[in-house]
């Protein structure tokens, strides 16, 4: 149950960094999901819903924004997206972690993240 531990981590991060009043009014949590994170969005949303049921985040939904992989070549300085291999056994394209220009190994600049980008918070009725 990989997604459950991710959901709990997410809640820990949010309760650490955002004040309670704001979290109570949070409707949507916008996440940036790197391409290299192999996560089922459906499973994570479902897990998040269950784990938040008895918390102040009850009712908040996850929204995903995909961040494509960016790599940097150590040899020629190329920076950008890499090529993809269609791996039929995995049923999806796998990024090739070598430079499209010179074939050297690349560093991953972006693609591993699962981070909170922003929150959609309901306006508080402050007509007092
Ligand atoms: Zn290169």
Centre of ligand 1 from the C-alpha of residue 80, in Å:
11
Centre of ligand 1 from the C-alpha of residue 33, in Å:
26
pLDDT over 70 at 126, yes or no: no
* Other CB atoms within 10 Å distance of the CB of residue 51: 18
pLDDT over 60 at 127, yes or no: no
Tell which CATH classification among 3.30.70.20, 3.40.50.10300, 3.30.2320.80, 2.102.10.10 matches the domain 2-121: 3.30.2320.80
Centre of ligand 1 from the C-alpha of residue 35, in Å:
21
- What's the pLDDT tens digit per position in 46-88? 999 999 999 999 999 999 998 888 999 999 999 999 988 877 6
Interior CA angle at 66 toward 65 and 68, to 5°?
Answer: 150
Centre of ligand 1 from the C-alpha of residue 117, in Å:
31
Q: pTM, whole model, 2 decimals?
A: 0.76
The pLDDT assigned to 95 comes to 83
Q: Which residues pair with 28 in a beta bridge?
A: 61, 120
Centre of ligand 1 from the C-alpha of residue 76, in Å:
4
Q: Chain centroid to CA 127: how far? A: 36
pLDDT over 80 at 90, yes or no: no
80-113 b/e with 16+ CB inside 10 Å = b? eebeeeeeeeeeeeebeeebeeeeeebebebbee
The pLDDT assigned to 9 comes to 93
Centre of ligand 1 from the C-alpha of residue 39, in Å:
29
Integer Cα distance of 86 and 99 in angstroms: 17
Centre of ligand 1 from the C-alpha of residue 97, in Å:
11
């Amino acid at each position: 149950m990989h997604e459950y531990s991710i959901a709990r981590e997410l809640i820990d991060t949010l309760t650490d960094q955002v004040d309670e009043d704001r979290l109570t009014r949070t409707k949507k949590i916008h996440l940036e999901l790197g391409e290299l994170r192999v996560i089922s969005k459906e499973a994570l949303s479902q897990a998040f819903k269950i784990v938040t049921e008895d918390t102040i985040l009850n009712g908040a939904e996850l929204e995903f924004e995909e961040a494509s992989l960016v790599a940097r070549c150590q040899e020629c300085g190329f920076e950008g997206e890499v090529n993809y291999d269609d791996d039929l056994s995995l049923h999806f394209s796998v990024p090739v972690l070598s430079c499209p220009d010179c074939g050297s190994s690349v560093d991953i600049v972006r693609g591993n993240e699962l981070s909170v980008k922003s929150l959609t918070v309901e306006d508080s009725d402050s007509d007092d």
